[in-house]
Amino acid sequence: MFGGTETVASAIEWAMAELMKSPDDMKKVQEELAAVAGLDRKVQESDLDKLSFLKCCVKETLRLHPPIPLLLHETAEDCEVAGYRVPARTRVMVNAWAIGRDPSAWKDADCFKPSRFADDLAAPDFKGGYFEFIPFGSGRRSCPGMQLGLYGLELAVAQLLHCFNWELPDGMKPSELDMSDIFGLTAPRAVRLAAVASPRVTCSLV
């Protein structure tokens, strides 16, 4: 239950926070949603494959805020890594959070730039073969709930942005949004996101 709820809820909040902080990207997602689904009905699961920029935003969110920042593993046999001997059955932690922000792998590594994933057939995917981007781990020990988690994340963010316009409260500027996190088993926002919604679609929201 923890893996299927806490991680997805945290990712949704981070995605919305990053888009609130980057209003041009939020506008671009909303324009894409309007082009695909219109404003007279709610976005549906069948629309997701057509929402390419939304998917870029989800990837960029997970690069900066992986659901589990430290991936726990155990070595199966003796090995040597970068000159260090690692005995069999050693517990090791892979820092997915730091890997996603590695400046040698990502230009402007700490900046939210969804366009880095756009229009590139070789862009990193979630399958774990691109070791600079492993929000769900890699190989046989990758997250078994990846597809379910991605589905929930993409559909929730799509519906939130399609059905509503969003503003920060009390005249807060995007640059003033606190983006600090609490580092642990997961890395949720240190300050819960507060936002003001107003209806955007013309159909019933019930």
- How far is residue 19's CA from residue 121's CA, in Å, rounded to a whole number? 24
3-state DSSP call for residue 196? strand
Q: Assess contact for 105 and 132: CB atoms under 8 A.
A: yes
* Amino acid found at 124: P
DSSP result, 59-71? HHHHHHS-SSSEE
**Phi (first) and psi of residue 63, to 5 degrees:** -65, -45
163 is known to lie in a ligand binding site: no
Q: Assess contact for 200 and 165: CB atoms under 8 A.
A: yes
- How far is residue 120's CA from residue 187's CA, in Å, rounded to a whole number? 29
- Please state the residue numbers annotated as binding site: 143
- Please state the residue numbers annotated as binding site for heme: 143
